[in-house]
Amino acid sequence: MRRPLLKDPERGLGLRLMVASFAVALLMVPFTLLLVVAKMPLNDLDRQVAENLHAYALDHPGVTRLLIVWTDLFGPWPWRVAVVAYAVWLLRKGAPRLAAWAVTTVTVGGLLGLALKIVVARARPHLPDPVALAPGDSFPSGHAVNVTLGAGVVVLLLLPSLPRWGRRLAWALAWFVVLSVAYTRVALGVHWMSDVVGGIVLGVAVIAATSAAFETWRREQGRRPASPVTEGVEPESVKVTRE
């Protein structure tokens, strides 16, 4: 009796990542419309926070310059370049599936953020004597989306090679960078607070969806169950990357 042909594992992974990304898109669009378009009471909080932080920025120009440097240092493009460079290194080390997951996660998340900006078309804060300017629409914050995606992907790639204490430290540093960059966008008056909250939520949702898809694929390939948050997306990659 002939054995049934095995499905191409690479194709199966790609399909799962696409389905997971599409599922996030379906969930985030109604959430965005309810939060911003429906004009929920959160907008009053947005306005109050923006005015208070703007007054502080005007009174402390030195701090404002530091915030500008920080937000540029950890902006969208540095994260995109870092993840792509890491993916290229993974390809050379013989970990193409992990590289595909990383690039797919960052790309899908970034494109979804841009799509939501177009759907919502929310205006940025208009404050007197602005300390910084930014083009485009406001919700969600592109910086918040991409710093969450970039930091999350890098940490999940590094986890298999880190000790337990190193994993905790990596997550702590990642969240510090994410929250600090989100703060700079509001403090500089180029985003509302709900913009950065929405950006972080979107970034986390995309990472969670693609990581879950990758873990499901791993188990179908007969690999032991793993927790991406504590062991990384592909714990077996530590053997490949150390060679």
Cα(97)–Cα(91) distance, integer angstroms: 8
More confidently predicted of 5 and 26: 26
Q: What is the pLDDT of residues 53-75, one digit of tens each?
A: 888 888 889 999 999 999 999 99
Q: What is the 3-state secondary structure (H, E, C) of the chain?
A: CCCCCCCCHHHHHHHHHHHHHHHHHHHHHHHHHHHHHCCCCHHHHHHHHHHHHHHHHHHCHHHHHHHHHHHHHCCHHHHHHHHHHHHHHHHHCCCHHHHHHHHHHHHHHHHHHHHHHHHHCCCCCCCCCCCCCCCCCCCCCHHHHHHHHHHHHHHHHHHHHCCHHHHHHHHHHHHHHHHHHHHHHHHCCCCCHHHHHHHHHHHHHHHHHHHHHHHHHHHHCCCCCCCHHHHCCCCCHHHHHCC
Q: Tell me which amino acid residue 86 is.
A: Y
Work out the average pLDDT over 1-25.
51
pLDDT of residue 4: 42
Q: What confidence tens digit (pLDDT) does each residue in 206-227 have?
A: 998 888 888 877 777 777 777 8
Q: Is the pLDDT of residue 126 over 80?
A: yes
144 and 57 Cβ atoms separated by less than 8 Å: no
Q: What percent of the chain has pLDDT over 70?
A: 80
Average pLDDT for 6-23: 53
Rounded to an integer, the average pLDDT of 71-88 is 95
Task: Place 38 in a pLDDT band, splitting at 50, 70 and 90.
Answer: very low
Q: pLDDT tens digit string along 187-204?
A: 999 998 988 988 998 899
154 or 48: which carries more pLDDT confidence?
Answer: 154
Residue-level pLDDT at 211: 87
Confidence of residue 2 (pLDDT cuts 50, 70, 90): very low
